[in-house]
Protein backbone atom coordinates (compact mmCIF):
# COMPACT_ATOMS: atom_id res chain seq x y z
CA UNK A 1 0.00 0.00 0.00
CA UNK A 2 1.36 3.41 -1.00
CA UNK A 3 1.77 5.87 1.80
CA UNK A 4 2.49 9.55 1.46
CA UNK A 5 5.35 9.08 3.94
CA UNK A 6 6.39 11.99 6.08
CA UNK A 7 5.83 14.76 3.53
CA UNK A 8 2.26 15.76 2.68
CA UNK A 9 1.68 15.37 -1.06
CA UNK A 10 0.10 18.18 -3.06
CA UNK A 11 -3.33 17.77 -4.63
CA UNK A 12 -2.38 16.43 -8.06
CA UNK A 13 -0.01 13.85 -6.58
CA UNK A 14 -2.67 12.67 -4.14
CA UNK A 15 -5.20 12.41 -6.97
CA UNK A 16 -2.93 10.01 -8.88
CA UNK A 17 -1.35 7.95 -6.09
CA UNK A 18 -3.09 8.30 -2.72
CA UNK A 19 -4.70 5.14 -1.37
CA UNK A 20 -3.22 2.86 -4.08
CA UNK A 21 -3.04 -0.82 -3.09
CA UNK A 22 -1.19 -3.39 -5.14
CA UNK A 23 -1.64 -7.14 -5.14
CA UNK A 24 1.25 -9.62 -5.33
CA UNK A 25 1.35 -8.97 -9.12
CA UNK A 26 2.46 -5.38 -8.70
CA UNK A 27 -0.10 -4.14 -11.24
CA UNK A 28 0.41 -0.51 -12.33
CA UNK A 29 -3.27 0.48 -12.72
CA UNK A 30 -5.71 0.19 -9.84
CA UNK A 31 -7.20 -3.33 -9.92
CA UNK A 32 -10.92 -3.99 -9.81
CA UNK A 33 -11.49 -6.55 -7.07
CA UNK A 34 -14.84 -7.65 -8.46
CA UNK A 35 -15.59 -9.96 -5.57
CA UNK A 36 -18.32 -9.93 -2.95
CA UNK A 37 -16.37 -12.03 -0.47
CA UNK A 38 -12.92 -13.07 0.71
CA UNK A 39 -11.40 -16.48 1.50
CA UNK A 40 -9.92 -17.11 4.95
CA UNK A 41 -6.96 -19.50 5.22
CA UNK A 42 -8.53 -21.25 8.24
CA UNK A 43 -11.46 -21.04 10.61
CA UNK A 44 -9.37 -19.29 13.25
CA UNK A 45 -8.54 -16.48 10.78
CA UNK A 46 -12.21 -16.08 9.91
CA UNK A 47 -13.07 -15.83 13.61
CA UNK A 48 -10.29 -13.32 14.16
CA UNK A 49 -11.34 -11.15 11.24
CA UNK A 50 -14.91 -10.96 12.52
CA UNK A 51 -13.54 -9.81 15.88
CA UNK A 52 -11.40 -7.11 14.30
CA UNK A 53 -10.48 -6.75 10.63
CA UNK A 54 -7.03 -5.30 9.89
CA UNK A 55 -6.32 -2.57 7.35
CA UNK A 56 -5.95 -4.98 4.41
CA UNK A 57 -8.53 -7.50 5.63
CA UNK A 58 -12.02 -7.52 4.20
CA UNK A 59 -15.15 -9.54 4.99
CA UNK A 60 -17.87 -8.71 2.50
CA UNK A 61 -18.12 -6.05 -0.23
CA UNK A 62 -21.09 -4.34 1.43
CA UNK A 63 -18.72 -3.67 4.39
CA UNK A 64 -15.68 -2.82 2.28
CA UNK A 65 -13.58 -3.96 -0.67
CA UNK A 66 -9.97 -3.22 -1.71
CA UNK A 67 -10.95 -1.18 -4.78
CA UNK A 68 -13.59 0.79 -2.88
CA UNK A 69 -11.11 1.33 -0.05
CA UNK A 70 -8.59 2.83 -2.49
CA UNK A 71 -11.20 5.34 -3.59
CA UNK A 72 -12.20 6.15 0.01
CA UNK A 73 -8.60 6.73 1.08
CA UNK A 74 -7.87 8.86 -1.97
CA UNK A 75 -10.82 11.20 -1.48
CA UNK A 76 -10.35 11.42 2.31
CA UNK A 77 -6.75 12.53 1.68
CA UNK A 78 -7.96 15.09 -0.83
CA UNK A 79 -10.76 16.47 1.34
CA UNK A 80 -8.57 16.49 4.45
CA UNK A 81 -10.71 14.20 6.59
CA UNK A 82 -9.52 11.18 8.56
CA UNK A 83 -11.76 8.77 6.70
CA UNK A 84 -14.50 8.33 4.10
CA UNK A 85 -17.23 5.85 3.17
CA UNK A 86 -18.22 5.35 -0.48
CA UNK A 87 -21.88 4.91 -1.36
CA UNK A 88 -24.02 3.71 -4.26
CA UNK A 89 -25.12 7.24 -5.20
CA UNK A 90 -24.97 10.80 -3.97
CA UNK A 91 -28.38 10.36 -2.38
CA UNK A 92 -27.22 7.24 -0.50
CA UNK A 93 -24.48 9.48 0.93
CA UNK A 94 -26.83 12.34 1.86
CA UNK A 95 -29.58 10.14 3.32
CA UNK A 96 -27.04 7.84 4.97
CA UNK A 97 -25.17 10.66 6.70
CA UNK A 98 -28.46 12.03 8.08
CA UNK A 99 -30.24 8.77 8.95
CA UNK A 100 -27.13 7.32 10.60
CA UNK A 101 -26.87 10.12 13.15
CA UNK A 102 -30.48 11.26 13.75
CA UNK A 103 -33.29 9.82 15.84
CA UNK A 104 -36.93 10.76 16.53
CA UNK A 105 -37.22 14.07 18.37
CA UNK A 106 -33.99 15.50 16.95
CA UNK A 107 -33.93 18.91 15.30
CA UNK A 108 -32.17 19.77 12.02
CA UNK A 109 -31.78 23.17 10.36
CA UNK A 110 -31.46 23.07 6.58
CA UNK A 111 -31.02 25.55 3.78
CA UNK A 112 -34.19 25.75 1.67
CA UNK A 113 -32.54 25.75 -1.77
CA UNK A 114 -31.78 22.04 -2.13
CA UNK A 115 -31.38 19.44 -4.86
CA UNK A 116 -34.87 17.89 -5.29
CA UNK A 117 -34.04 14.54 -3.71
CA UNK A 118 -32.30 16.20 -0.75
CA UNK A 119 -35.47 18.24 -0.22
CA UNK A 120 -37.53 15.00 -0.27
CA UNK A 121 -35.30 13.46 2.40
CA UNK A 122 -35.68 16.58 4.55
CA UNK A 123 -39.40 17.18 4.04
CA UNK A 124 -40.70 13.62 3.79
CA UNK A 125 -38.31 11.01 5.14
CA UNK A 126 -36.83 12.70 8.20
CA UNK A 127 -40.14 14.23 9.31
CA UNK A 128 -41.89 10.85 8.91
CA UNK A 129 -39.41 9.44 11.43
CA UNK A 130 -40.04 12.25 13.90
CA UNK A 131 -37.10 14.51 13.10
CA UNK A 132 -38.05 18.20 13.11
CA UNK A 133 -36.60 20.25 10.24
CA UNK A 134 -36.46 24.05 10.10
CA UNK A 135 -35.73 25.60 6.69
CA UNK A 136 -33.79 28.83 6.31
CA UNK A 137 -32.51 31.02 3.51
CA UNK A 138 -29.01 29.54 3.31
CA UNK A 139 -27.30 32.80 2.38
CA UNK A 140 -28.71 34.68 5.40
CA UNK A 141 -26.63 34.08 8.54
CA UNK A 142 -29.26 35.87 10.69
CA UNK A 143 -31.79 33.16 9.75
CA UNK A 144 -29.33 30.39 10.68
CA UNK A 145 -28.66 32.16 13.98
CA UNK A 146 -32.39 32.39 14.73
CA UNK A 147 -33.14 28.77 13.77
CA UNK A 148 -30.26 26.90 15.43
CA UNK A 149 -31.01 26.16 19.08
CA UNK A 150 -29.06 24.29 21.77
CA UNK A 151 -31.12 21.20 20.89
CA UNK A 152 -30.17 21.27 17.18
CA UNK A 153 -28.33 18.09 16.19
CA UNK A 154 -27.22 19.00 12.69
CA UNK A 155 -27.26 21.70 10.04
CA UNK A 156 -27.40 20.79 6.36
CA UNK A 157 -26.81 22.82 3.22
CA UNK A 158 -25.46 22.70 -0.31
CA UNK A 159 -22.40 24.95 -0.22
CA UNK A 160 -23.45 26.29 -3.64
CA UNK A 161 -27.10 25.90 -4.55
CA UNK A 162 -28.72 24.55 -7.69
CA UNK A 163 -29.55 26.19 -10.08
CA UNK A 164 -29.13 29.77 -8.87
CA UNK A 165 -25.56 29.36 -7.58
CA UNK A 166 -26.12 30.94 -4.20
CA UNK A 167 -23.38 30.30 -1.66
CA UNK A 168 -23.62 29.35 1.97
CA UNK A 169 -20.91 30.92 4.13
CA UNK A 170 -19.52 27.66 5.52
CA UNK A 171 -17.37 29.34 8.19
CA UNK A 172 -20.24 31.55 9.35
CA UNK A 173 -22.78 28.72 9.58
CA UNK A 174 -20.22 26.41 11.24
CA UNK A 175 -19.58 28.94 13.97
CA UNK A 176 -23.32 29.22 14.73
CA UNK A 177 -23.79 25.43 14.59
CA UNK A 178 -20.77 24.58 16.72
CA UNK A 179 -21.81 27.03 19.46
CA UNK A 180 -25.01 25.00 19.73
CA UNK A 181 -23.16 21.68 19.54
CA UNK A 182 -24.65 20.82 16.13
CA UNK A 183 -22.81 18.88 13.43
CA UNK A 184 -22.23 20.67 10.10
CA UNK A 185 -23.08 18.51 7.08
CA UNK A 186 -22.19 20.09 3.72
CA UNK A 187 -23.34 18.77 0.34
CA UNK A 188 -20.40 20.06 -1.62
CA UNK A 189 -21.13 18.86 -5.16
CA UNK A 190 -21.11 22.23 -6.94
CA UNK A 191 -17.94 23.36 -5.15
CA UNK A 192 -16.10 20.13 -6.14
CA UNK A 193 -13.45 18.65 -3.81
CA UNK A 194 -10.82 20.67 -5.71
CA UNK A 195 -12.22 24.15 -5.04
CA UNK A 196 -13.57 23.29 -1.60
CA UNK A 197 -11.80 23.70 1.68
CA UNK A 198 -15.01 22.96 3.57
CA UNK A 199 -13.34 21.03 6.39
CA UNK A 200 -10.86 23.85 7.04
CA UNK A 201 -13.84 26.23 7.02
CA UNK A 202 -15.67 24.23 9.69
CA UNK A 203 -17.72 21.47 8.00
CA UNK A 204 -17.71 18.24 10.01
CA UNK A 205 -19.18 15.97 7.35
CA UNK A 206 -18.70 16.61 3.62
CA UNK A 207 -20.88 14.73 1.16
CA UNK A 208 -20.41 14.35 -2.60
CA UNK A 209 -22.37 12.88 -5.44
CA UNK A 210 -19.40 11.38 -7.31
CA UNK A 211 -21.76 11.00 -10.29
CA UNK A 212 -20.85 14.59 -11.14
CA UNK A 213 -17.28 15.99 -11.41
CA UNK A 214 -15.51 13.03 -9.78
CA UNK A 215 -16.60 10.56 -12.46
CA UNK A 216 -16.54 13.51 -14.83
CA UNK A 217 -17.75 11.55 -17.82
CA UNK A 218 -21.32 10.78 -16.86
CA UNK A 219 -20.84 7.02 -16.59
CA UNK A 220 -21.71 5.87 -13.10
CA UNK A 221 -23.77 6.83 -10.06
CA UNK A 222 -21.80 7.14 -6.86
CA UNK A 223 -21.41 9.07 -3.64
CA UNK A 224 -19.11 9.49 -0.69
CA UNK A 225 -19.21 10.77 2.88
CA UNK A 226 -15.98 12.30 4.22
CA UNK A 227 -15.63 12.89 7.99
CA UNK A 228 -13.70 12.02 11.14
CA UNK A 229 -12.78 8.38 11.74
CA UNK A 230 -15.17 8.43 14.71
CA UNK A 231 -18.15 9.55 12.56
CA UNK A 232 -17.34 7.23 9.65
CA UNK A 233 -16.59 4.08 11.64
CA UNK A 234 -18.86 4.47 14.68
CA UNK A 235 -21.88 6.28 13.23
CA UNK A 236 -22.01 5.90 9.44
CA UNK A 237 -20.46 2.51 8.67
CA UNK A 238 -22.80 0.43 10.86
CA UNK A 239 -25.81 2.12 9.21
CA UNK A 240 -24.49 1.88 5.62
CA UNK A 241 -23.18 -1.65 5.78
CA UNK A 242 -26.40 -2.99 7.24
CA UNK A 243 -28.80 -1.01 5.04
CA UNK A 244 -27.01 -1.71 1.76
CA UNK A 245 -26.05 1.59 0.15
CA UNK A 246 -22.37 0.73 -0.41
CA UNK A 247 -20.48 1.57 -3.61
CA UNK A 248 -19.68 -1.31 -5.97
CA UNK A 249 -15.99 -2.06 -6.68
CA UNK A 250 -16.56 -1.44 -10.39
CA UNK A 251 -17.93 2.03 -9.65
CA UNK A 252 -15.03 2.72 -7.27
CA UNK A 253 -12.62 1.87 -10.11
CA UNK A 254 -14.39 4.37 -12.39
CA UNK A 255 -14.18 7.03 -9.67
CA UNK A 256 -10.49 6.32 -9.01
CA UNK A 257 -9.76 6.89 -12.67
CA UNK A 258 -11.89 10.03 -12.66
CA UNK A 259 -9.90 11.41 -9.75
CA UNK A 260 -6.57 11.19 -11.57
CA UNK A 261 -7.70 14.00 -13.90
CA UNK A 262 -10.11 15.81 -11.55
CA UNK A 263 -7.93 18.83 -10.82
CA UNK A 264 -7.06 19.38 -14.50
CA UNK A 265 -10.67 18.96 -15.58
CA UNK A 266 -12.45 21.21 -13.11
CA UNK A 267 -9.86 23.96 -13.52
CA UNK A 268 -10.29 23.86 -17.30
CA UNK A 269 -14.09 23.89 -16.98
CA UNK A 270 -14.05 26.74 -14.45
CA UNK A 271 -11.76 28.86 -16.64
CA UNK A 272 -14.11 28.28 -19.58
CA UNK A 273 -17.15 29.03 -17.37
CA UNK A 274 -15.62 32.38 -16.37
CA UNK A 275 -15.07 33.34 -20.03
CA UNK A 276 -18.56 32.18 -21.02
CA UNK A 277 -20.19 34.11 -18.15
CA UNK A 278 -18.30 37.28 -19.10
CA UNK A 279 -19.33 36.86 -22.74
CA UNK A 280 -23.00 36.16 -22.00
CA UNK A 281 -23.19 39.22 -19.76
CA UNK A 282 -22.54 41.43 -22.82
CA UNK A 283 -25.25 39.97 -25.07
CA UNK A 284 -28.70 41.63 -25.33
CA UNK A 285 -30.37 38.21 -25.88
CA UNK A 286 -29.35 37.38 -22.30
CA UNK A 287 -30.92 38.84 -19.15
CA UNK A 288 -29.17 38.28 -15.84
CA UNK A 289 -26.10 36.05 -15.73
CA UNK A 290 -25.50 34.28 -12.43
CA UNK A 291 -21.89 33.22 -11.99
CA UNK A 292 -20.01 33.57 -8.68
CA UNK A 293 -16.83 34.46 -10.59
CA UNK A 294 -18.44 37.67 -11.91
CA UNK A 295 -18.08 40.81 -9.80
CA UNK A 296 -21.86 41.29 -10.34
CA UNK A 297 -22.63 38.17 -8.24
CA UNK A 298 -23.83 39.38 -4.82
CA UNK A 299 -21.55 36.84 -3.12
CA UNK A 300 -18.54 37.28 -5.40
CA UNK A 301 -16.19 38.04 -2.49
CA UNK A 302 -17.41 35.02 -0.51
CA UNK A 303 -17.00 32.78 -3.57
CA UNK A 304 -13.43 33.92 -4.04
CA UNK A 305 -12.64 33.42 -0.35
CA UNK A 306 -14.42 30.07 -0.11
CA UNK A 307 -13.62 28.48 -3.49
CA UNK A 308 -11.00 30.64 -5.20
CA UNK A 309 -13.07 30.84 -8.40
CA UNK A 310 -16.64 30.72 -9.66
CA UNK A 311 -16.94 26.98 -10.35
CA UNK A 312 -18.01 25.06 -13.44
CA UNK A 313 -21.68 26.09 -13.73
CA UNK A 314 -23.16 29.20 -15.30
CA UNK A 315 -26.84 30.08 -14.95
CA UNK A 316 -28.48 32.72 -17.11
CA UNK A 317 -31.79 34.07 -18.28
CA UNK A 318 -32.75 33.92 -21.95
CA UNK A 319 -34.77 37.02 -22.85
CA UNK A 320 -38.23 35.88 -24.00
CA UNK A 321 -39.17 33.33 -21.33
CA UNK A 322 -39.88 29.65 -21.88
CA UNK A 323 -40.40 29.90 -25.65
CA UNK A 324 -37.03 31.58 -26.17
CA UNK A 325 -35.32 29.23 -23.68
CA UNK A 326 -36.65 26.15 -25.50
CA UNK A 327 -35.65 27.59 -28.89
CA UNK A 328 -32.16 28.18 -27.51
CA UNK A 329 -31.87 24.61 -26.16
CA UNK A 330 -33.18 23.09 -29.39
CA UNK A 331 -30.71 25.06 -31.51
CA UNK A 332 -27.60 23.96 -29.55
CA UNK A 333 -25.22 21.86 -31.60
CA UNK A 334 -22.40 21.10 -29.14
CA UNK A 335 -24.02 21.49 -25.73
CA UNK A 336 -26.46 18.68 -24.93
CA UNK A 337 -29.90 19.01 -23.34
CA UNK A 338 -29.73 16.94 -20.15
CA UNK A 339 -29.83 17.26 -16.38
CA UNK A 340 -26.49 15.88 -15.21
CA UNK A 341 -23.57 18.17 -14.46
CA UNK A 342 -19.81 17.97 -14.10
CA UNK A 343 -19.50 16.02 -17.36
CA UNK A 344 -16.81 16.41 -20.05
CA UNK A 345 -19.71 17.32 -22.33
CA UNK A 346 -21.33 20.73 -21.84
CA UNK A 347 -24.93 20.33 -20.69
CA UNK A 348 -27.84 22.77 -20.86
CA UNK A 349 -30.70 22.32 -18.38
CA UNK A 350 -34.03 24.14 -18.24
CA UNK A 351 -34.69 23.81 -14.49
CA UNK A 352 -38.30 25.11 -14.49
CA UNK A 353 -39.54 22.21 -16.66
CA UNK A 354 -37.11 19.44 -15.59
CA UNK A 355 -35.15 19.31 -12.33
CA UNK A 356 -37.49 21.73 -10.56
CA UNK A 357 -40.69 20.96 -12.48
CA UNK A 358 -42.49 19.59 -9.42
CA UNK A 359 -42.00 22.67 -7.27
CA UNK A 360 -45.12 24.81 -6.82
CA UNK A 361 -44.91 28.19 -8.57
CA UNK A 362 -44.44 30.17 -5.35
CA UNK A 363 -41.38 28.07 -4.48
CA UNK A 364 -39.98 28.48 -8.00
CA UNK A 365 -40.48 32.23 -7.63
CA UNK A 366 -38.81 32.24 -4.21
CA UNK A 367 -35.80 30.36 -5.64
CA UNK A 368 -35.61 32.56 -8.74
CA UNK A 369 -36.36 29.69 -11.13
CA UNK A 370 -37.91 31.71 -13.94
CA UNK A 371 -39.26 30.38 -17.29
CA UNK A 372 -36.23 31.76 -19.18
CA UNK A 373 -33.60 30.34 -16.83
CA UNK A 374 -30.93 28.00 -18.22
CA UNK A 375 -28.22 26.20 -16.23
CA UNK A 376 -25.07 25.39 -18.17
CA UNK A 377 -22.60 22.81 -16.89
CA UNK A 378 -19.40 23.66 -18.71
CA UNK A 379 -17.47 20.69 -20.07
CA UNK A 380 -14.07 20.25 -21.64
CA UNK A 381 -14.70 21.37 -25.22
CA UNK A 382 -12.79 24.30 -26.72
CA UNK A 383 -14.27 27.41 -25.09
CA UNK A 384 -14.42 29.35 -28.36
CA UNK A 385 -16.45 26.56 -29.98
CA UNK A 386 -18.82 26.67 -27.01
CA UNK A 387 -19.21 30.45 -27.25
CA UNK A 388 -19.93 30.13 -31.00
CA UNK A 389 -22.53 27.45 -30.22
CA UNK A 390 -24.24 29.63 -27.60
CA UNK A 391 -24.17 32.62 -29.97
CA UNK A 392 -25.81 30.77 -32.86
CA UNK A 393 -28.38 29.16 -30.53
CA UNK A 394 -29.31 32.62 -29.30
CA UNK A 395 -29.74 33.76 -32.91
CA UNK A 396 -26.73 36.07 -32.93
CA UNK A 397 -25.57 34.91 -36.40
Per the CB < 8 A criterion, the answer to whether 205 and 227 are in contact is yes
Point out which span in 56-64, 95-103, 111-119, 373-381 binds ligand PLP (CB under 6 A).
Answer: 111-119
> What size, in residues, is the chain?
397
Report the distance separating Cα 190 and Cα 192, nearest Å: 5
| 236-275 positions binding ligand PLP, by CB under 6 A | none
Minimal distance, residue 158 CB to ligand PLP, in Å: 5
Minimal distance, residue 150 CB to ligand PLP, in Å: 29
Q: Pick the binder of ligand PLP from 91, 224, 314, 394 (CB under 6 A).
A: 91
Minimal distance, residue 342 CB to ligand PLP, in Å: 8
Query: Among candidates 19, 121, 33, 138, which has minimal Cα distance to 79?
Result: 19
Query: Among candidates 307, 303, 314, 333, which has minimal Cα distance to 375?
Result: 314
Q: Is the dihedral of CA 86, 89, 94, 99 positive or negative?
A: negative
Per the CB < 8 A criterion, the answer to whether 154 and 102 are in contact is yes
Minimal distance, residue 224 CB to ligand PLP, in Å: 10
Determine if 166 is a binding residue for ligand PLP (CB under 6 A): no
Per the CB < 8 A criterion, the answer to whether 59 and 50 are in contact is yes
Judged by beta carbon, residue 97 or residue 393, the one nearer ligand PLP is: 97
Minimal distance, residue 195 CB to ligand PLP, in Å: 14
At residue 206, what are phi and psi to the nearest 5 degrees? -115, 130
Helices in the chain by DSSP H: which ranges?
A: 11-17, 43-51, 66-79, 90-101, 116-120, 127-128, 141-147, 170-179, 192-195, 229, 237-243, 249-260, 262-280, 300-307, 321-331, 361-367, 383-393
Residue nearest ligand PLP, Cβ-based: 90
Per the CB < 8 A criterion, the answer to whether 225 and 85 are in contact is yes
361 CB-contact burial (10 Å; exposed 0-12 / middle 13-18 / buried 19+): exposed
Judged by beta carbon, residue 168 or residue 383, the one nearer ligand PLP is: 168
Judged by beta carbon, residue 149 or residue 357, the one nearer ligand PLP is: 357
Point out which span in 4-12, 35-43, 47-55, 86-94 binds ligand PLP (CB under 6 A).
Answer: 86-94
Determine if 98 is a binding residue for ligand PLP (CB under 6 A): no
Q: Pick the binder of ligand PLP from 20, 68, 81, 162 (CB under 6 A).
A: 162
Per the CB < 8 A criterion, the answer to whether 262 and 213 are in contact is yes
Q: How many residues bind ligand PLP (CB under 6 A)?
A: 16
Judged by beta carbon, residue 209 or residue 246, the one nearer ligand PLP is: 209
DSSP 218-247: S----EEEEE-HIIIIIIIHHHHHHHT-BP
Phi-psi region of 2 (alpha: psi -120 to 50; beta: other; left: phi over 0): beta
Minimal distance, residue 96 CB to ligand PLP, in Å: 11
Determine if 68 is a binding residue for ligand PLP (CB under 6 A): no
| Cα→Cα distances 92→177, 265, 274, 323, Å | 24, 25, 32, 36
Judged by beta carbon, residue 69 or residue 375, the one nearer ligand PLP is: 375
Minimal distance, residue 348 CB to ligand PLP, in Å: 16
Point out which span in 113-121, 325-333, 353-361, 375-383 binds ligand PLP (CB under 6 A).
Answer: 113-121
**DSSP H/E element including 288:** strand 286-290
Point out which span in 102-110, 114-122, 330-338, 360-368 binds ligand PLP (CB under 6 A).
Answer: 114-122
| 201-230 positions binding ligand PLP, by CB under 6 A | 209, 211-212, 221, 223
| 183-202 positions binding ligand PLP, by CB under 6 A | 187, 189
Q: Which residues bind ligand PLP (CB under 6 A)?
A: 89-91, 94, 115, 117-118, 158, 162, 187, 189, 209, 211-212, 221, 223
Amino acid sequence: MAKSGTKEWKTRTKLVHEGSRRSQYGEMAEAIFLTQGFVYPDAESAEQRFIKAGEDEFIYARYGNPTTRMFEERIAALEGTEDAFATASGMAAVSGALMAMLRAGDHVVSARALFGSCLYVMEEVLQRFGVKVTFVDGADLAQWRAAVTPGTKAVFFESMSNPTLELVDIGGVAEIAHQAGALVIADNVFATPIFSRAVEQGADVVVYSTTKHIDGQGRALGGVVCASREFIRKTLEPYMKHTGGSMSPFTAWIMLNGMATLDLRVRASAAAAQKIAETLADWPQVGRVIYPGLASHPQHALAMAQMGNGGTLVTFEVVGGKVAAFAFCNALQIAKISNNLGDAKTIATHPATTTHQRLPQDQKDALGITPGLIRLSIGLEDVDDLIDDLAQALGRN
